[in-house]
Structures are given as C-alpha cells and as structure tokens.
Amino acid sequence: MRNEQLPFLEGRCSRGTSVCYRPHTHPTLSLGLVDEGSAKVKFAGHTFTLRTGHVVVIGPGVVHSCNPPTGQRWSYRMFYFDWAWVQRVAPALARAFAPECGHFPLNGAAARAAGEVIASALTAPKSGAEATVARALQRILQRVKPAPVVAAKPGSNRATIVAAREFLARHCDRRVSLQTLAKELGQDRYQFIRRFRSQLGLTPQAYKLDQQVIEARRQLARGAPIAEVAHALGFADQSHFQRVFKSHAAATPAQYQRGGKRLTRRAREKAA
C-alpha cells in the first residue's frame, strides 16, 4: 500500500498466512503490528516471540526474519518509513536505531493505539496526515527499549563486512565476483564468505539478492515496467525475478505495483 499524500510511508497487510521468509533487510524503519497469532522474530543476534497485540520496530539495514511456527498462521500489518524522513521528524529518537541494534517488542495499549493511527492515516488520509503520522511514530519510538548489543564474533572483521555490504548494495545491478571482492578487501574468498555469513546470517550472494529486491521496489514504486526492472537488475528472466521478489516482499512485482495504484486512486476519490 502506498499513498501519494504520504510518500515517505509504505504499508503491507497479511491475513492468515503461514508463508515463511528468509532473512532480509529494509532501508527503512520498519513497524509491525501483530493482529492475530504468533511468530518468531530474529534480528541483531536476538530472538523474540511476537503475539497478538504486539508492536515491533526494526531499524534500517538490520538483517531479520519474522515467521510463524511450522504449520500455523498469523495476521499482521507492516509499515515502512523512509529513514531520511524519520531522522527529520524525530532526530533524537532516530539515534537509538544504530546499525545492527536490536529492540524489545512492545506490548501496550499506547503503542498499539499509535500504530492504528498510522494505519488509518495511510488507508484514509485526511488534512494534516503527515503531522498525524509523525506524532504517532514518535509516541511509539519513545517507548522502544534497546536490547543488549550482541558483541561481534571473534574474527568477524566488522569494518570489512560493512565495506562489503556497501559495495554489494552499490553494485546490486551487476555481476559481482566474490573472488575479486574478497581480494580487494584483503581476504581469502572462502574466509570472506564464512565471516560475512557468520556476522549477518546471509551469504554475500543472498545479501546481493536482497539489495536487488530493495532497488526493484524503488523502481516499481516509480512506475517502471516490470520487464525493464528485471533486465536492469540482471535477472535471468521475469520468472526468476518474480520468484525472488515474492520471497522477499510477500507479493509479486505486479501485485506490488497494483497495491500502490489502487490506494492512490482511492485517496483521490476521497479528496474529490
């Protein structure tokens, strides 16, 4: 769900789903509302159980997964806030979301009520919607408590991994030789892959796919044709692109684009 009146915000609603997803990242601040059921959320070295009524906040760039127990279903809503916008409207609160920083899930009426305000503003925006969303998000972030920081594993070479992540994000549309990348970082190829996976829980190739999906979402949200996006990002064909995109975004590229178009049209009709 996207709305042209709130260009810094994107939403997604999943009902009664048992689908599980691999670890992934978002360049945004992510806010989740659990409506029914339970799930395990893993990020920043921590594992928490989410239950009905819980609110979870995940910082930008944090590798995470959030899945229900095997064979069970749950319902939830996700909201993704542009990080530059968050830093502008809540600069002091945004500083708590350092890279790889974990946060305890919230379980309280105030946080939940603020989340519902955000949901309503996205689906039926009114005058002053941006200010309303900003205030609601601030109320949630004020209640977030950082979890203990998990120390880097011995030999993880965190600075090297950060440099590798930045390189893979910048070059997600190209074929990247891990041998060449590892050499530039001064490491053996297999040593580099092992350390990357040990720190992030993803292989370099899986992280590159994750960054491709992030870039694909940006281009699709701007209205770029699906075939052009798949080709520009180096996917073998549209079928491959669709499989990868759906495994990360819980929707096909076409569904992702249609969701934004429907919401934008509905907003225009309400404003008329």
The reply to whether 201 and 78 lie within a common domain is no
State the average pLDDT over residues 244-259.
Answer: 85
Q: Out of 110, 141, 172, pick the residue that ends a domain.
A: 141
**Which region among 2-16, 70-84, 91-105, 107-121 has the lowest average model confidence (pLDDT)?**
91-105
CATH for 194:
1.10.10.60
- Read off the pLDDT band of 177 (50, 70, 90): confident
The reply to whether 179 and 56 lie within a common domain is no
pLDDT at residue 184 above 90? no
Are the C-beta atoms of 167 and 181 separated by less than 8 Å? yes
Are the C-beta atoms of 167 and 180 separated by less than 8 Å? no
pLDDT for 103 equals: 84
pLDDT at residue 155 above 60? no
Q: 70-94: string of b/e by CB count within 10 Å (b at 16+)?
A: eeeebbbbbbbbbbebbbebbeebb
The reply to whether 78 and 185 lie within a common domain is no
Residue 260: enclosing H or E segment and its boundaries? helix 253-271
Q: Closest Cα partner for 140 from 100, 106, 99?
A: 106
CATH for 126:
2.60.120.280
Q: Out of 141, 169, 185, pick the residue that ends a domain.
A: 141
For residue 224, being part of any structural domain is answered with yes
CB atoms within 10 A of CB 15: 11
pLDDT for 99 equals: 62
Q: 26-43: string of b/e by CB count within 10 Å (b at 16+)?
A: bbbbbbbbbbebebebbb
- Read off the pLDDT band of 269 (50, 70, 90): very low
Q: How many folded domains does the chain comprise?
A: 2
pLDDT at residue 231 above 70? yes
Mean pLDDT (the chain, rounded): 87
> Which tens digits make up the pLDDT trace of 42-52?
887 789 999 99
For residue 4, being part of any structural domain is answered with no
Q: Cα-flanking dihedrals φ and ψ of residue 4, to 5°?
A: -65, -20
What sign does the CA torsion over 124, 125, 131, 134 have?
positive
Q: Closest Cα partner for 81 from 4, 144, 7?
A: 7
For residue 264, being part of any structural domain is answered with no
> Which tens digits make up the pLDDT trace of 105-128?
999 999 999 999 999 999 988 899
Residue 219 CA, distance from chain mean position? 16
Pairing of strands 64-67, 38-43: antiparallel
The reply to whether 180 and 237 lie within a common domain is yes
pLDDT at residue 268 above 70? no
For residue 269, being part of any structural domain is answered with no
Question: For the residues of 183-238, what is the DSSP string, one character each?
Answer: HHTTS-HHHHHHHHHHHHSS-HHHHHHHHHHHHHHHHHHTT--HHHHHHHTT-SSH
The reply to whether 162 and 249 lie within a common domain is yes
- Read off the pLDDT band of 180 (50, 70, 90): confident
Of all residues in the chain, the percent with pLDDT exceeding 90 is: 48
The reply to whether 42 and 104 lie within a common domain is yes
pLDDT for 214 equals: 92
pLDDT for 270 equals: 44
The reply to whether 58 and 101 lie within a common domain is yes
Q: Closest Cα partner for 196 from 151, 165, 169, 150?
A: 165
- Read off the pLDDT band of 34 (50, 70, 90): very high
Two structure tokens written together for 137 = 């998000």
Question: For the residues of 59-109, what is the DSSP string, one character each?
Answer: -TT--EEEEPPTT--EEEEEEEE-HHHHHHH-HHHHTT--TT--BPPB-SH
The reply to whether 24 and 129 lie within a common domain is yes
Domain limits at 246?
158-258
Are the C-beta atoms of 29 and 61 separated by less than 8 Å? no
State the average pLDDT over residues 83-112.
Answer: 87
pLDDT at residue 226 above 90? yes
pLDDT at residue 261 above 60? no
Tell me which amino acid residue 90 is.
Answer: A
The reply to whether 15 and 116 lie within a common domain is yes
pLDDT for 40 equals: 94
The reply to whether 136 and 240 lie within a common domain is no
pLDDT for 143 equals: 93
Rounded Cα gap, residues 243 and 58, in angstroms: 25
The reply to whether 63 and 22 lie within a common domain is yes
The reply to whether 13 and 115 lie within a common domain is yes
For residue 149, being part of any structural domain is answered with no
Q: Out of 88, 109, 141, pick the residue that ends a domain.
A: 141
> Which tens digits make up the pLDDT trace of 63-74?
899 999 999 999
Helix/strand/coil for 33: strand
For residue 268, being part of any structural domain is answered with no
pLDDT for 154 equals: 54
For residue 174, being part of any structural domain is answered with yes
For residue 152, being part of any structural domain is answered with no
